Copies of this chain bind each other. A is one copy, B any other.
Amino acid sequence: MFIARSETAGEWKAIATAISTIVEEATFEATPQGINFRGMDPSHIALIDLNWPNSAFEKYECSQPIKIGLKIEDFVKLIKRASTNDKVELETKDESLLIKFVNSYKREYLLHLIEPYTSSTPLPKISLNSKTVLKTKSLENLLDDIQVVSETVNISAKKDQMTLEGQGDTGHAKIVLDKTNEDIISIDIKEESVATYSLPHLLDIISSLSSVSENVSVEFSTKMPIKLVFKIGAYGIDLCYYLAPRIE
């Protein structure tokens, strides 16, 4: 028995879209404590680790752990039909997921479940030396600026300053972030670091989540993966995203 009701559809829309940027089939694990998802994209470059506690739902019932396998694109397509003020209720039912939009209408979708996957993805064991917390929407805009000239972003950090750069046929783009900017919440650099990452990958995930995540924490180290932690909504949903560096 699994039932989860959210007050609005925003979180599900954003999170399912984010997951659909890395996999086609997603297995959610529901336990009495909440819903988790962990998965990597087929080329093992990007990883998402989601922790959605039961306290973030308006109603949550799950007597024992259950794996829910979904074609994530199909789920996104259905969930996007929810209106702004619809409550969303998910319920497993035989081989399907019942999706109810609870508002003045009684609208229901029954989505076929697929075989859940069984192997689990380990989290990378890394320690990262540079951490910047900033507005998610702002990070999206800054990376868009870099993307005008380049497909990759070079991130470097020293002292109280993080620099985003890109280089291409057209020219060069450079943005310096420090604490004087109101969109920067904090900058904490333990060690000078520099690394390069794929811009389309970063922008896919950030634009999926920027509507529901106010701030994002960005952690990286020289030639190590970048880790983005999105705080979603007001009730403790965490989505961690790891992306491997580009080796030139």
Q: Which residues of A contact B (CB under 8 A)?
A: 71, 74, 77-78, 81, 96, 104-112, 142, 144-145, 148-149, 170-177, 181-183
**Complex: A177 Cα to B104 Cα, angstroms:** 10
- Report, nearest first, the 4 A-B pairs whose CB atoms are least far apart: A110-B172, A111-B171, A106-B176, A74-B170
**Complex: A86 Cα to B110 Cα, angstroms:** 48
Which of the residues B77, B104, B142 comes within 8 Å of A105, measured between beta carbons?
B142
Assess the B78–A109 pair: CB atoms within 8 A: no
Which of the residues B110, B175, B177 comes within 8 Å of A171, measured between beta carbons?
B110
Assess the B142–A109 pair: CB atoms within 8 A: no
Assess the B105–A181 pair: CB atoms within 8 A: yes
Assess the B170–A111 pair: CB atoms within 8 A: yes
Assess the A181–B104 pair: CB atoms within 8 A: yes
**Complex: A112 Cα to B171 Cα, angstroms:** 6
Assess the A171–B104 pair: CB atoms within 8 A: no
Assess the A175–B78 pair: CB atoms within 8 A: no
Known contacts A111-B170, A144-B81, A171-B96; A177/B74 CB under 8 A: no
Least distance between A241 CB and chain B CB atoms (Å): 23
Instruction: List chain B residues, Cβ under 8 A from A78.
Output: 148-149, 170-171
Instruction: List chain B residues, Cβ under 8 A from A148.
Output: 77-78, 81, 109
**Complex: A81 Cα to B141 Cα, angstroms:** 9
**Complex: A65 Cα to B146 Cα, angstroms:** 32
Assess the A105–B175 pair: CB atoms within 8 A: yes
Known contacts A81-B144, A148-B81; A171/B105 CB under 8 A: no
Assess the B107–A175 pair: CB atoms within 8 A: yes
Least distance between A69 CB and chain B CB atoms (Å): 14
Known contacts A77-B148, A81-B144, A145-B81; A173/B108 CB under 8 A: yes
Instruction: List chain B residues, Cβ under 8 A from A142.
Output: 105, 107
Assess the A175–B104 pair: CB atoms within 8 A: no
